[in-house]
Structure 1
């Protein structure tokens, strides 16, 4: 709760499924009113909103295409107006590509960058401007990836865009700290979602030999971390990246994706 005893307000982009949905619900459980955004899956967004309301929080639903630049920023402004302010902004919307560097087209490269970096910049800037104007501080949280730290074959555009987003957030921590605004990256590894083809499965029952914990993550585990970063207890965390990957980076993402046996566990 804010000092004025009104619920804090949050926007979670790409919250029609996966990590975004789990994050919206986790924030609602922690007392936030939440704006849920969707690109093509309105039904999924409405399902997320229903879960948010199930926690007694207010939910609004809005379409957001972050590749519509600068119109995506206008959509953020509209959501802030409908919420009555903004305390937490979670930049979760993103896409990937699996095209080898020698084969990727400029159009595909630009689509990834417009989604994962340029659109993120526009939305983050609008969110930050609203927070500065309100004068109450705020939290900017970007969902990046382990691939902002280590590359993977076929991910050149995605890797580069996530590196850029991670660097942008570090700069925001420097420039916005005097306004009481924190900026933090959350870098998931392999998470069991529809994007990974594991939606609906119990992550603890999925075998991933190349990950030290032996399984993919649960979207709710990522959401719990984000909800913590949005809490008063995390007020002094800024300008850094919190990796949530089951130890995957210690193997290297390429090994984590390619190893098919547990032989590496023994000498």
Structure 2
């Protein structure tokens, strides 16, 4: 009899994390959910997972408290019975000029956005290797894994580092049947961007080729592909989900207010 597949999604109390947890449940997976400051949101996510007939477990995890926080991965793996996929989604950022940054703020962003996923992935990979039948790890980075943003020095450094860490993990874990990829969202309608639950078709973004922000479910769909059977020969890649923003090169930016770039 096949084992029930399970996943842990960090930061799944809202936004991309919640959408991903629900999408994986729709695929038939039991889901572990971590939260930092919004336990009620995590319970709501768990309720959506359970409404789909799948198990849900929640665990508090504050990635600013390392290395202890990563123990949440093992706690959820124990309660779920196994661990087939880890989605490192929890993250934070800053909007502070480079010269005004303080060490503590930089260290917090690097811990949450880079060191935390590193330690969580180690724990998940060790469990997957012990199980003996492979697994999937997906790191949610950002378009700023690939391109800089003014005022986001530690965020860009962490996401760029997580992107390259993804590639190293993919090489080293391939012999164990563990596929590792990154998903790099652009502007998505989430609490982090201040517009969770918005109808994305009603928000113009002239600086994005598709002309709007993304919906969290559109990111979740790509994560689900990478976690599911159709992503079995994909590893070490970064998948932008950004409405084409990165293709804009030096013109890129959701802040643009005009469509004038569309004409030569």
Structure 2-normalised TM-score?
Answer: 0.98
1:198: how far off?
Answer: 1.1
* 2:190 paired with 1:160: no
Q: Which one is further off, 127-136 or 254-263?
A: 254-263
Which residue number corresponds to residue 53 of structure 1? 50
Which residue number corresponds to residue 98 of structure 2? 101
Which residue number corresponds to residue 218 of structure 2? 221
Asked whether the 8 Å contact 1:147–1:162 carries over to 2, the reply is: yes
Which residue number corresponds to residue 33 of structure 2? 36
1:53: how far off?
Answer: 0.6
Asked whether the 8 Å contact 2:205–2:255 carries over to 1, the reply is: no
1:253: how far off?
Answer: 7.4
1:255: how far off?
Answer: 3.5
1:254: how far off?
Answer: 6.6
Over the aligned positions, Cα root-mean-square deviation in angstroms equals: 1.1
- Please list, as runs of the form range in 1=range in 2, the aligned pairs for 1:1-267 lying within 5 A after superposition: 4-252=1-249, 255-267=252-264
Structure 1-normalised TM-score?
Answer: 0.97
Asked whether the 8 Å contact 1:10–1:86 carries over to 2, the reply is: yes
SS in 2 for 1:141: strand
SS in 2 for 1:229: helix
Distance 2:194 2:250 in 1: 18
Distance 2:112 2:55 in 1: 27
Give a deviation string over 1:4-38, Cα, whole Å, max 9, x none.
33320100000000000000000000000000111
Cα 1:254–1:161, aligned 2, differ >3 Å: closer, same or farther?
farther
Q: Which structure 2 segments of 5+ residues have no match?
A: none
Give a deviation string over 1:72-97, Cα, whole Å, max 9, x none.
22221111101101000000000010
Distance 2:43 2:19 in 1: 13
Q: Which structure 1 segments of 5+ residues have no match?
A: none
Asked whether the 8 Å contact 1:153–1:254 carries over to 2, the reply is: no
Moved over 3 A (4+): 252-255
Distance 1:161 1:255 in 2: 20
Give a deviation string over 1:139-195, Cα, whole Å, max 9, x none.
000000000100010011000000111111100111110000000000001101111
SS in 1 for 2:206: coil
Count of aligned pairs: 264
